[in-house]
Amino acid sequence: MKIGIIVIFRNNVDEIDVEAISKNLRFLGDVVVCLVDNKSTDGTLKKLKEIRDNLKNVELIEIKKKSSLETSKRAGARFMYSNYNLDHLGFIDSDSVNSENLNVNEVISVVFNSKDVILALKKELKQQPAKRYTLFKSIFSVLDFLKQNHLKTSFDNILLSAS
């Protein structure tokens, strides 16, 4: 089973710790990550290229014209579904992460430390009544998933350590 995660960035150069993100992404195994740069005007794209160049499970899409979250998400989804046989596709919006007083490095760390729970998502979804989704409607918010009871303590610990 493969899970893909789209991470959308726009002018987040100060929040990207290349070494920390690379370390966590290196060990995600069954998870393929697509970094999407939404026309950043700072050094975000350069840092994302550095992450991509160091890892084989990471792809990078550069959007040339500033776009909405939905458009960025769709660009990442099209790429991921065209190039990988994925069972599930989630997304992380760096702006949403920042509004939760977290940063992308912390969320990716929680994803790494909770990868077994995320990989168990398929089992949980199979138990739910079957719904027919379009390609784009089936994309789930990784942040919302992590905030559910499954990983509440991981997030509480991060929030406590950040204050």
Domain with residue 114: its CATH number is 3.40.50
Which residue would you say has higher pLDDT here, 155 or 81?
A: 81
Helices (H) and strands (E) in the chain, counts: 9, 5
Q: Which range marks the domain in which residue 145 is found?
A: 3-162
CA distances from 100 to 10, 111, 156 (A): 16, 16, 12
> Is the per-residue pLDDT at 8 higher than 90?
yes
Model pLDDT for residues 119-150, shown as the tens digit of each residue: 666 566 556 655 545 556 678 888 887 777 44
Which residue would you say has higher pLDDT here, 40 or 99?
A: 40
> Is the per-residue pLDDT at 103 higher than 70?
yes
Model pLDDT for residues 24-78, shown as the tens digit of each residue: 888 777 789 999 999 999 999 999 999 999 999 999 999 999 999 999 999 999 9
Tally of domains in the chain: 1
The residue to which tokens 């969320």 are assigned: 107
pLDDT at residue 160, rounded to an integer: 44
Q: What is the pTM of this model?
A: 0.82
Radius of gyration of the chain (CA): 15
